[in-house]
């Protein structure tokens, strides 16, 4: 009888589902194999040595083996638990949205850039404590680009101006336009401004290591964030439960100040 093949891989828990007994089904994002469904037997027992690895958003080194179509966890060792996120409900809620959004665009194929992007986003939130709206929007813009939905923001898609007058993003077609250009053909557009357009271009075309290293004025940030979310929703054609929860925290946070 052939020996059971084992693999060792680093992965982050995008989703966890409790099943019968003390088991969980984990959705892991790995660099080499993309998205994997993994059965972690007995992981809900206090005696399980790798229970911490099976938490939502935990990044760990896993030893896995395959039987049929399923992967099973054999061992795990935590690499990063993002404790800064877990101490802040709003940051944790946003982190869960980043994970759910990443899961939506990931397949069972190598995904090193998507994994790196998610880890960097969680690090920016939980360790660097970057502003949540900035992280959310920059993450959305860049994730969609990495997943093959990159918008064309170098110039107006109709007149070719690199500095469009009253710039707008057509979130359905994924193109930039002047306020008057293509107005009839555009199904849904979000208004930008010079600063919010510059920020979007920086995120899409600039150094990924400096993805969250900029600031914007209040109005420009509002447009930058609104366009990113509208573009994400239009391209993926779905909503996100974790995003709804994150948004539900905003009034309570404002009232508590």
Q: What is the CATH number of the domain that holds 113?
A: 1.20.1440.120
CB-CB contact of 91 with 132 (8 Å): yes
Shared-domain flag, residues 152 and 247: yes
Exposed, middle or buried by CB within 10 Å (0-12, 13-18, 19+), for 81?
Answer: middle
pLDDT of residue 254: 43
pLDDT tens profile 120-173: 999 999 999 999 999 999 999 999 999 999 999 999 999 999 999 999 999 999
What CATH number is associated with residue 44?
2.40.50.140
- Which residues span the domain enclosing 192? 83-255
pLDDT of residue 257: 40
Pick the last residue of a domain from 80, 110, 131. Answer: 80
Domain-located, residue 1: no
Read off the pTM.
Answer: 0.93
Quote the CA–CA distance of 164 and 98 in Å, as a whole number: 31
Quote the CA–CA distance of 74 and 77 in Å, as a whole number: 11
pLDDT tens profile 170-184: 999 999 999 999 877
pLDDT of residue 184: 79
CB-CB contact of 56 with 13 (8 Å): yes
Backbone angles phi, psi at 131, to 5 degrees: -55, 130
Contacts of 8 (CB under 8 A, 6+ apart): 61, 62, 63, 64
pLDDT of residue 256: 42
């Amino acid at each position: 009888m052939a020996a059971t093949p084992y693999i060792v891989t680093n992965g982050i828990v995008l989703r966890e589902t409790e099943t019968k007994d003390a088991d969980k089904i984990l959705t892991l994002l790995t660099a080499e194999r993309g998205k994997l469904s993994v059965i972690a037997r007995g992981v809900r027992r206090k005696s399980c040595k790798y229970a911490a690895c099976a938490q939502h958003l935990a990044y760990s080194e896993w030893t896995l083996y395959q039987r049929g179509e399923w992967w099973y966890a054999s061992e795990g060792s935590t690499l990063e638990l993002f404790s800064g996120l877990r101490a802040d409900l709003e940051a944790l809620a946003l982190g869960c949205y980043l994970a759910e959004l990443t899961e939506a665009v990931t397949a069972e194929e190598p995904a090193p850039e998507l994994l790196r992007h998610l880890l960097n986003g969680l690090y920016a939130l939980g360790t660097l404590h970057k502003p949540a709206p900035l992280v959310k929007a920059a993450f959305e813009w860049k994730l969609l680009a990495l997943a093959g939905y990159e918008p064309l923001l170098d110039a107006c898609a109709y007149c070719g101006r690199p500095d469009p007058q009253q710039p707008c993003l057509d979130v359905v077609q994924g193109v930039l336009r002047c306020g008057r250009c293509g107005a009839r053909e555009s199904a849904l557009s979000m208004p930008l401004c010079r600063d919010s357009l510059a920020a979007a271009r920086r995120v899409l075309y600039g150094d990924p290591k400096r993805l969250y290293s900029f600031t914007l004025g209040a109005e420009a940030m509002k447009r930058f964030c609104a366009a990113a979310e509208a573009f994400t929703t239009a391209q993926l054609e779905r909503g996100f439960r974790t995003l709804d929860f994150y948004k539900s925290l905003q009034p309570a946070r404002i009232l508590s100040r």
